[in-house]
Each structure stands twice: as structure tokens, then as C-alpha cells.
Structure 1
Amino acid sequence: MRAWLADCELNLGSPQRRAVLLLCGKRVVAEEELVDAVWGENPPPAAVSVLRTYASRLRKVLEPDRGHGEPPRVLVSVGGGYVLRIPDSAVDVRVNEQRAAEARKA
């Protein structure tokens, strides 16, 4: 998984952090679901805390211009989980799925 801000590729960090970002799609993903997806059956004792650290670090990378105290706009906490709020046109997979659907209709 790769991401850009304008013309700069972003450093998304470890594979675990990338997985969190990848899993947080258009729907809210519960922390427990993310813990299971990232660590499987043997999560570390502080998995939820580590997950929150991943989210915080991802937010700094995704929104470097966000001011102190401003709520996140991209990776948003919602009711014990996270959701990624970016337009479909900014995600290659979503664009490809839309084009494939349009091609099937044609």
C-alpha cells in the first residue's frame, strides 16, 4: 500500500500501520477487529494502546497541516473504531471497481 499527498509519497511506516490504514475503509472498523486483523490470535497485551499509537502516527502523516486541537479529517475515530474519510476518486481500488462496474454495464 502506498499513499501520496500532492506529489510526495508518504511514509506510512511499518506493515502493521499500513494494515490499519488499509482496513479502515468506507465503514467504521472496530478496534477489536483491527487488533484481530493485525495480530491474529496472539495480540500483544497492549494491542489497543499500540493500535491507537498507529492511528495517531498515521494522522500526522496524512494530515501534516492539521493544527493542534483540530479534530482529524482523514482517519477519524468513531464509536470505538476508525474510518477513513477520503473520496472514492482518491483510492485506486475504488476507481478500478467503479470502472469495472461501468464496463460490465456497457
Structure 2
Amino acid sequence: MSTVQETLALKDPSLFRQQAYVNGEWQGATNGETFEVRNPATGGLLGTVPLMGTAETRHAIEAANAAWPAWRKKTAKERAVVLRKWHDLMMENADDLAL
């Protein structure tokens, strides 16, 4: 297997984050550990992601639980605006997300 990272032909390389998004922030694992993500067709290294443990998982669950009351209070229309914006961003970046 190749240890050389494959070059991804991204239109917007800033979309390729090798961290976890928790509570509005990009984070690595507390212990700094990561694991490799490989292209199944070539075995080439695509990148790494943090190897989150129990503490990080609990933190993510607690953050999601804390965010829930505010989301729950939003009207269906307000939620639709957020989801539509997310949809539009995904469609704008569909080619990069597909890699």
C-alpha cells in the first residue's frame, strides 16, 4: 500500500478538513491520534481523521444535547431555511464532496 498522499483535485481545498466538527469547532483527538483514510481502488492515502475516544464522544453528545433545545424552539420555516442553506452549499460543492 502506498504511504504517499494522493492529490485530490478539489476546486476548494479548504473543504477537506482532517478534523471532527464538534460544538461549532474543528477538533482533533485529545491524544493527537489519527487513523488513515485510503482510496479503496488504489490503496493510496487520502488523508487522516482524528481517532476520537470515549471522552471526545461524550463531549460531542453533550454538545448536541445542549444545542437541541434551541433547535427544537425554531419554527419549521426557520429550520427549513437552515437546511436549505446546507443543501445549497452541498450542491455548490458536489464535485468536491464526491471525491
**What TM-score comes out, normalization by structure 2 length?**
0.29
Larger radius of gyration: 2
**TM-score normalised by structure 1 residue count:** 0.28
